[in-house]
Chain A
Amino acid sequence: MSTDGTLVEVTDLSVGYGSVRAVDALSFRLERGAALGLVGESGSGKSTVASALLGLHRGTGAVVQGTVRVAGVDVGAASEAELRRLRGGTAAMVFQDPLSSLDPYYAVGDQIAEVYRVHHKASRRAARARAVQVLDRVGIPDAVRRARARPHEFSGGMRQRALIAMALACEPELLVADEPTTALDVTVQAQILDLLHTLREETGMGLLLVTHDVGVAAESVDDVLVMRNGVEVEHGPVATVLGSPARTYTRRLLKSVPRVDVPRARRPAEAEQGQEPTSAEVVLEAVGVRRVFGRGARAFAAVDDVSLQVRRGEALGIVGESGSGKTTLGRMLVGLLDPSAGQVRREGVAVRGVRPDVQMVFQDPVSSLNPRRSVGESVADPLRARGERDPAVRERVLALLERVGLEPAHYDRYPHEFSGGQRQRIGIARALAADPRVLVCDEPVSALDVTTQAQVVELLDELRRELGLALVFIAHDLAVVRQVSDRLAVMRRGRVVEHGPADEVYESPREAYTRQLLAAVPVLDPGLAALRRAERRELTVTQM
């Protein structure tokens, strides 16, 4: 073990898969107890770096060049036994998706105990006791009992805590966290980041945080390394890089990050016209809708007595955490689900079922397009369903593709040939094909990188203005929603807890729950982030 202050030393690291270079000549150091953030968009190679630290490329066919030293161990040259000691013992990894990262068949405590016994000579009993101890440490309530639960009995946040507990079990010197909060709600994300912060303060372990979310990095690390296409773009103290970025790409990245503390930019033309959304006609309306799933004792109302109005040309944002009922509400608005009680009205008339005038844009552009049909045909579906024929259909589809920023030549291509952002544009074109008056977008950008996110949001806003569309924008990301919405509805446990003009709700929220949500949103200023952390601590203390 090295005695100097360096924990991780990466020199000229290159990782190639076939002809693709995921990481290209990357070098950095991490001192003991320090925290480094690897920030970049998808495909930037940041996760590959994280895997390389633990030698996870061994045996996968990836070509690794350069040296990686973790706590004095040369990862590339280490024997299998040395590598196993390093993994989990010296450097532990926390993965993105807490649902799939634990074995569904074994109790959570047993899985932690298994890892502990790999690195320590301990009896089963002692290892279980250790598991309970670390589960308790990461804030799992009633850890003795919960240690016997299977992963599916845990919530997403608890599973991520359990993974962190597994990492802590062997008191590693380095924690590698690969997108540890990406799958989590904003309040849970804040809790997990706060937990990592506290643990680092207490144990003095180093942290390498991989994230696409600049805000998450700002909250958690001392230094930040911005990556793009496998290469370092910028590296320095987090305040410097985020506060006064030296490189164009970093500036662009920062500019694309949606800001929850900045009001939505209004078009000058719109401001002049002085459109009063309250005066426009109501195109879509939910009146006391309720939707119950399950029967008998297991019945629960996913949406409970919600009334909302959507006016022509306005954008209504709906925010809430997972399980708040926002997707169910969206589906009822489109007519994919019928309400158990209450009514959905279009232009004042109660209707059931899907109609052309209200269309949906789905979250996952990958699974919502048929992979075996050309995208042009997918977009043409609503037209053909209406009985239109070629060449009119083809002409209209070409125009739609062009309208959403794609090329006519894309008509005959298949979904796998497109990037995430392009696929979402295809999804939007398909929704537009039916000439809707309302677009209900359910998490339309949550699967996209920030720069792509900004472009898609921009496109939706343009369409709204040009075509006089009403938008219902459902998302868990409060910052994105702020950049789109005229009005905002905050949902919690199936009900709308706060509802009003967007800027009003963001600037002066009335409900404690809204305030809590807003306090959990990561901010880009590290100094402010520290203040917010303290604020959150107080909020939780006063709640107890």
Chain B
Amino acid sequence: MKALHGFAGFALRRTLGAVVTLLAISVIVYVVFYAAPGDVAQITCGPRCSPAQVHQVAEQLRLDDPLYVRYLHFLQGVVAGHDYSTGTSVEHCSAPCLGLSYQSDQQVTQLILAKLPVTGSLALGAMVLWLLLGVGTGVLAAWRRGRLDERILTGITLAGWATPVFVIGLLLMVLICGQLQLLPFPQYVPFTEDPEQWAWNLLLPWLSLALIEAAKYARLTRSAMLETLAEDHVRTFRAYGVGERAIVGRHALRGAVGPLIALNANDLGSLFGGAVLTESLFGLPGIGRELVHAVNVVDLPVVVGLVVLTGFFVVLANAVADLLYAVADRRTVLS
């Protein structure tokens, strides 16, 4: 019972810490973007607006209020939602409301929600692939350490790591879709519409991301396993006749689980904030592309919303990772 209490306490502390971090991120992001030079009202209104029209826009956007008031207003929207008057009618933006796009007057939250499934599909699928590829390669590398096949394998993963996604992705597209015509050029199909087409169309983006990420995981797995293999308890099991397969697969791999969780959380969290290059390359209408567009047209509510969202995912993924880590290694809770 005491252990459970310890874990509950740990989970609570960790969650509170995550909330505080998020608040800090939102403050910094808000200040950085809204305190940046440039007349937001002028940009939003367009070059042909008269000064009176620009003034009207500025009032509508509450640009005359001090920054902290606008931040609190923003925060209020996130927590409680807002009502926006669009001239003729009142539109309700329910919590978590990240404001309205300057460009399209769409709610930022709705905009993100529409793009999230694309990025989510990309990130989760790629994660499964890079874990399989990376951890598999790492285990093999640790097991066959120093031999020729291990060196070749490690060389390949390193090459993958060193290659930018637009090179790998383009090569894959040219080869598989262009030359061999095994697959059509990727085009996003929602999972809910046709799961099979969804998977086929995402295969190349997944593979490109996974090939790049896998090297990191392979190296981490390999080094963590080699470290464990040099430890005394592995000697114990060897001295008791336990086979090499069980030693590598059970005891050595177990030592790599913690670092793998931590690395994966970071990667997955930041990918959820948009894989800009991959999405652009494969024409996936995800969060990364939305971010690039919003930055180009200086649609600040969308930019702020997306950056805060990325922060949210990274913090969330790390919090989940810490909790998983505590489950995986009970000693963590004690310290």
Contact = CB atoms under 8 A, between A and B. Distances in A.
Interface string A473-500: 0000000000000000000000000000
A104 B94 CA distance: 49
B329 to A, nearest CB: 7
A115 interface: yes
A435 interface: no
Q: How large is the interface on A (under 10, 10 to 19, 20 to 34, 35 or more residues)?
A: 20 to 34
A6 to B, nearest CB: 22
B241 interface: yes
A42 interface: no
Given A105-B329, A150-B331, A119 B232 contact: no
A454 B239 CA distance: 35
A103 B232 CA distance: 9
B73 to A, nearest CB: 40
B246 interface: yes
A95 B238 CA distance: 12
A458 to B, nearest CB: 34
A166 interface: yes
Contacts of B237: 103, 111, 114-115
Contact of B239 (A93, A105, A106, A114): A93
B179 interface: no
A88 B240 CA distance: 4
Contacts of A352: none
B227 interface: no
Given A103-B251, A105-B255, A114-B246, A87 B235 contact: no
A103 B246 CA distance: 13
- Of B235, B241, B251, B328, most A-chain CB atoms within 10 Å: B241
B232 A86 contact: no
Given A100-B231, A103-B251, A114-B246, A150 B330 contact: yes
B233 interface: yes
A152 interface: yes
B236 interface: yes
A524 to B, nearest CB: 30
Interface in B313-335: 328-331, 334
Interface string A83-108: 11111110011010100111111100
B241 A119 contact: yes
B242 interface: yes
- Of B238, B239, B242, B243, most A-chain CB atoms within 10 Å: B239
Interface string A386-412: 000000000000000000000000000
B231 A166 contact: no
A145 to B, nearest CB: 13
A89 B239 CA distance: 10
Given A150-B330, A152-B331, A103 B242 contact: no
A84 B239 CA distance: 8
Given A105-B255, A105-B329, A118 B239 contact: no
B14 interface: no
Given A105-B254, A150-B330, A88 B232 contact: no
A114 B235 CA distance: 15
B241 A86 contact: yes
Given A100-B232, A103-B254, A87 B330 contact: no
Nearest to A100: B232
Contacts of A92: 239-240
A91 to B, nearest CB: 9
Contacts of A85: 241
A15 interface: no
A253 interface: no
A105 B233 CA distance: 11
Nearest to B242: A118
Nearest to B334: A152
A242 interface: no
Contacts of A100: 231-233
A174 interface: no
A95 B241 contact: no
B30 to A, nearest CB: 36
Nearest to B3: A153
A101 B235 CA distance: 8
A54 interface: yes
Contacts of B331: 104, 150, 152
Contacts of B235: 56, 95, 101
A448 interface: no
B213 to A, nearest CB: 25
Nearest to B257: A105
Contacts of B243: 84, 118
A102 B242 contact: no
Given A114-B246, A150-B330, A150-B331, A101 B236 contact: yes
Contacts of B231: 100
A106 B329 CA distance: 9
A118 B236 contact: no
A150 B251 CA distance: 14
A345 B236 CA distance: 49
A103 B201 CA distance: 44
A117 B328 CA distance: 24
A87 B246 contact: no
A56 B239 contact: yes
Contacts of A101: 232-233, 235-236
Contact of A95 (B232, B255, B329, B330): B232
A96 to B, nearest CB: 9
A163 interface: yes
B241 A103 contact: no
A487 B255 CA distance: 48
Contacts of B241: 83-89, 115, 118-119
Nearest to B328: A105
Contact of A88 (B239, B329, B334): B239
Contacts of B328: 105
B240 A166 contact: yes
A150 B331 CA distance: 9
A163 B237 CA distance: 11
B255 to A, nearest CB: 7
Interface string B204-248: 000000000000000000000000000111011111111100100
Contacts of A102: 233, 236
Contacts of A166: 236, 240
Contacts of A84: 241-243
Nearest to A97: B232
Contacts of B251: 103, 105-106
Nearest to A178: B239
A56 B242 contact: no
A114 to B, nearest CB: 7
Contacts of B246: 114, 118
Interface in B247-262: 250-251, 254-255
A97 B255 CA distance: 19
B240 A118 contact: yes
Contact of B240 (A87, A104, A106, A152): A87
A150 to B, nearest CB: 6
A175 to B, nearest CB: 12
Contacts of A89: 241
Given A114-B246, A150-B330, A150-B331, A103 B238 contact: no
Given A86-B241, A88-B242, A105-B255, 5 more contacts: A56-B238, A83-B241, A100-B232, A101-B232, A105-B328
17 contacts: A54-B239, A83-B241, A87-B241, A89-B241, A93-B236, A93-B240, A97-B232, A100-B233, A101-B235, A103-B251, A103-B254, A105-B251, A105-B328, A111-B237, A114-B242, A115-B237, A152-B330
Instruction: List the 5 closest A-B pairs by CB distance, nearest first.
Output: A88-B240, A87-B241, A100-B232, A84-B241, A88-B241
